[in-house]
Amino acid sequence: MDKEMEQFQKDLLDSVRQMKAGKGARKTQVALSPIAEARSRLGMSQSELADLMGVSTRTLQDWEQGRRKPTGAAQTLLRVAIAHPEALLDLKAA
C-alpha cells in the first residue's frame, strides 16, 4: 500500500476515535455582520426587517453578506438599528 493511502487510513481512524470520544476535530464559528446581529436582537426575519425598511429581502441579504453597502437613509436607519434596536421596534409597532 502506498504512503498516501496509509496516511489516509490513519487520519480516518484518528477521526473516528475523536468522534467516539466526543471530541470534534474543529469548530467553525460564523461571525454575524452588524446588520444581521441587529436584526437578530430585534427578533425579526430578513423579510420583516426588509419590509420595515422599504427594501427587498434580497437587498437586505446582500447588505448582511457584504455584497452591497447601504446608502443614504437606509444607512442611517441601519446605524440606528445597530445602536438602538428598540427604536426600530417602536417603528414596527406604529
Mean pLDDT for the stretch of residues 68-86 = 88
Q: Is the confidence at residue 71, as pLDDT, over 80? A: yes
> Tell me: the pLDDT tens digits for 13-66?
988 888 888 776 577 788 889 899 888 988 999 999 999 888 999 999 999 999
Q: State the cell numbers at 36.
A: 444581521
pLDDT of the residue at 1: 64
CA distance 7 to 19: 18
Nearest Cα residue to 70 out of 34, 40, 43, 42:
34
- pTM for the model: 0.64
Domains annotated on the chain, with CATH: 34-93 (1.10.260.40)
CA distance 32 to 76: 19
